[in-house]
Structures are given as C-alpha cells and as structure tokens.
Chains A and B, each alone.
Chain A
Amino acid sequence: MNATSSIAPVAPRFRLGDRVKVRWADVPGHIRTPWYIRGQTGVIERLCGAYANPEELAYARSGLPAQPLYRVRFTQAQVWPDYGGSPADTIDVEIYQHWLESA
C-alpha cells in the first residue's frame, strides 16, 4: 500500500470518457505499462486514485508525488490486428497518468 505524505499528488489531467493514447517508449526498468498496450488509443473508464510510482518504488525510492492511475478501455479489434472475437470486446488496463497523452 502506498504511503501518504505531505507531498501533494499530481493533479489528474483526464476525465471519464476522454480519449487517450498510451505513450510509446522502449526503456529499461520496472514498468507496469504492458508492452502490448503502448502506442494504443483508448478511453478513460475511471480514475482509480493517485498512487506512488512503482517505477521508483522498485528502487526503494519514495515514488512521490503520487501519480493518478486510470483504467483505460481499449477495443480488442483495434489492439490486435487479427482479433477473432466480437468487435464489441474490450480490454481494460490500469495505466499511470505519465504514460498517457490526449488523443
């Protein structure tokens, strides 16, 4: 569980329903944005809250200020070129704000 602190969390930039693109980056380190979703465009499904950055926590650093975390919904048929299911099928992924841009 992430610690509370007197350092204010980063303000949320996105709201429910906003279209967002997952930033593309190929970098070493502990990253919770899965490879398969980088570069993809989706829609904010909810704001989960603000949490200390796991990329920093992984190295015993504080991870503060806390980053807004969102659940972003993607259409499977857009994520996978050969997707075999229904065009309505979705995948929801939790993504930290610093990996998201407006789309």
Chain B
Amino acid sequence: MHEHDTRNHHHGHPHPGTRPDADDTLTHYQVMEIAVRELLIEKGVLSADAVRREVEKMDARSPAQGARVVARSWIDPVFKSKLLALGNDALVDLGLERGPYKLVVVENMADVHNVVVCTLCSCYPRWLLGLPPDWYKSRNYRSRTVREPRAVLREFGLDLPDDITVRVHDSTADMRYLVLPARPTGTEGWSEDQLSSIVTRDCMIGVAVPKANR
C-alpha cells in the first residue's frame, strides 16, 4: 500500500491505476476471491466477461464526473436548481449514470459548509466519484467527523471560522451525498472545463474547497 499526502494532491483527473496482484504469493483472501468467482462462473451465476466489464466500468468512473456536475451548476442556474431539487434526474441531463441510489446534493454557501461521512460503513456516491479513498473508510474518519468535524477539517487543511455553520451528513441509509462547493472568486469568465479542473474529489466530500489557483 503506498501512502502519500493528499492534501495538496488534486484529484480532478481520472485515477485509474491498478496495483497488479502480487506475483509470488496469494493471500488467503485472494485465494477466496478466485475460488468464489470460479464457483459462481461454473454454476452459471455470472460470467468472466461480466466481471471484466464491471471492472472496466469501475475504472471509467472518477471524480471528474462529479466535477462536471459542479462546474455545470456554477454556470447554469436552471441546472443547479434541478440538481438540488431532483438530484439523479439532473445527472441524466449531463449524460451521466442516474445511479442506483437517490442523490442528495448539499450546497455550500458563504456561511454554510457541508461534510459527508458514513459512520457505519463506507456509503459513497461511487457511480459519480469512483471508489472512495481509504481514509474515508477509516476508523478515525468515521468516528471523529460526526463529533468534531471542525478538528477533522483542520487536519485536512480547512480551518473554518465560527460564523460559518458546519453541517455534517451521516450517510446511514439509502441516500448518497455530493457536496456542491461554492464557486471561488477569481474564476470569472472561466470555461466549464477550467471550472471542473479545480473541483477535486475532496471538495465533493467536503474536506476541502476549490481554489482558483491558475
């Protein structure tokens, strides 16, 4: 497992890297995965092709999709209203997957900052952002974000004054959440592509805000 400081590492681009499986030893659970998959294929429950296609679909998903949704909201108020009111229907307008769960979009304002966590497991809008980062699924994030969100945000480099209200969303059931960050100043006249390039995954989880750093 490689670790790196992600605080200054922007994920506005696709990150489809796959670590190759270890060549020499298989762990107990790698063996289990192979065995389960082969049994299911033998029994006709699924096909090798279906597994491969699903992995490809997974690889094609990235935070860039969510970034497009945010950028479009910043320039198109009609789209933004639809997104906030209807969630999934608006995604379809952008040619994105509607998704298997109802999307709740929570909007940051000048005096409101939103942050999302799943304390019970790791619920995340995967069809929009790709797979979640390890830290989102970690004990420390899941335990502390509901109780001391401001301290957690400070660890991510976001220090919010008390006149900004912090709203935490615990994704406990059938909803999935996307934070709609506020458009930063200094982006006037930018194209949609330029705007989406500054919307990182962390901004859409709520542990960061976009910066006009061009």
Contacts and interface: CB of A to CB of B under 8 A. Distances in A.
Interface in A1-28: 1-2
Interface residues of B, number: 26
B101 A1 contact: yes
B172 interface: yes
Contacts, number: 81
B140 interface: no
Interface in B145-176: 146-151, 162-175
A1 to B, nearest CB: 5
Given A84-B148, A84-B151, A91-B146, A71 B166 contact: no
A71 B150 CA distance: 22
A92 B170 contact: yes
Contacts of A2: 174
Contact of A92 (B101, B150, B162, B168): B168
Given A32-B120, A34-B120, A84-B151, A95 B172 contact: yes
Nearest to A50: B174
B100 interface: yes
| Chain A contact residues, majority secondary structure | mixed
A39 interface: no
Nearest to B164: A86
Name the interface size band of chain A. 20 to 34
Nearest to B147: A80
A101 B87 CA distance: 29
B62 interface: no
A33 B166 contact: no
B170 A94 contact: yes
A71 B167 CA distance: 13
Contacts of B100: 1
Given A71-B104, A80-B147, A86 B166 contact: yes
Contacts of A49: 102, 174
Given A36-B119, A90-B165, A95-B172, 7 more contacts: A69-B173, A84-B150, A85-B148, A85-B150, A86-B166, A94-B171, A94-B173
